Amino acid sequence: MSLSLEPFVFLELERHFQMQEYLGPHSWGLNMDDGCVVFAIDGTNDTVRCPVQILGTLSYQTETWLWGWNNRQSDIPAKLLKCGPMIQKAARAEDTQFIATKSFRINRENHAQELAIIAAGFCELFTFYSCDVEQSALFVGIESMREIANQERTAVLAESVLTTGISMFDFKHQPAVRAYLGTPKKTVKSTSEYTIEGKPFCIRFDSMGRISSIDH
């Protein structure tokens, strides 16, 4: 598995959407000692508790990203930094210098979300979440969320995930779609047909292999 968006982007976004829809308006609290983020759903007494891994921090002031395992000043418990050795080893093997460096400047829109998606997907975490504070955002990987673990995919959700992903990030569309939806039921010319909710879900690609239309 490579440190790239294609294997992970759509599935991680889908789970992120499902999580946000389930939570609705909410607040969060992070307990480093027990390794969980606790979401409090507004207007209710309900809370959702999820185990996490620390991924990295985005500084809004300096526009830099610092991986959690290189954040020496915060005394993050080692049990929350399990992704570090895995990502560092893969980055060295792939000679992906930017992802292995201690910190670096965010140089494009949604770059922090891109890094969080790659890290969460590569480490087989459920999804990612941004804990925003005044001058920074701490990105965590959600290990599991039982409340939505068995939610079924809908055509509306899949279309939203696909259109959001291709509008936010630059990556190869066709391999990313296959990683998300699997092998198409059939392919006719530039259109791949999948089945979602028992009905055809068709994705047309242009000559560059990019998604040009979605029909369902």
| Concatenated DSSP letters of 104-140 | EE--STTHHHHHHHHHHHHTT-SEEEEEE-SSEEEEE
What's the rounded Cα separation, in Å, for the pair 162 and 103? 30
Q: Residue 78 has what DSSP assignment?
A: G
Question: What does the pLDDT read at residue 35?
Answer: 96
Do the Cβ atoms of 3 and 171 come closer than 8 Å?
A: no
For the ranges 88-92, 116-120, 186-190, the maximum mean pLDDT occurs at 116-120
pLDDT at 212 over 90: yes
What's the rounded Cα separation, in Å, for the pair 206 and 5? 20
pLDDT at 101 over 80: no
Specify the range with the lowest mean pLDDT, choosing from 78-92, 149-163, 171-185.
Answer: 78-92
Q: Which two tokens stand for residue 128?
A: 């990612």
pLDDT at 102 over 80: no
19-71: per-residue pLDDT in tens?
A: 999 999 999 999 999 999 999 999 999 999 999 999 999 999 999 999 999 88
| Neighbouring residues of 133: CB distance < 8 A, sequence distance ≥ 6 | none
| Neighbouring residues of 12: CB distance < 8 A, sequence distance ≥ 6 | 117, 120, 121, 127, 128
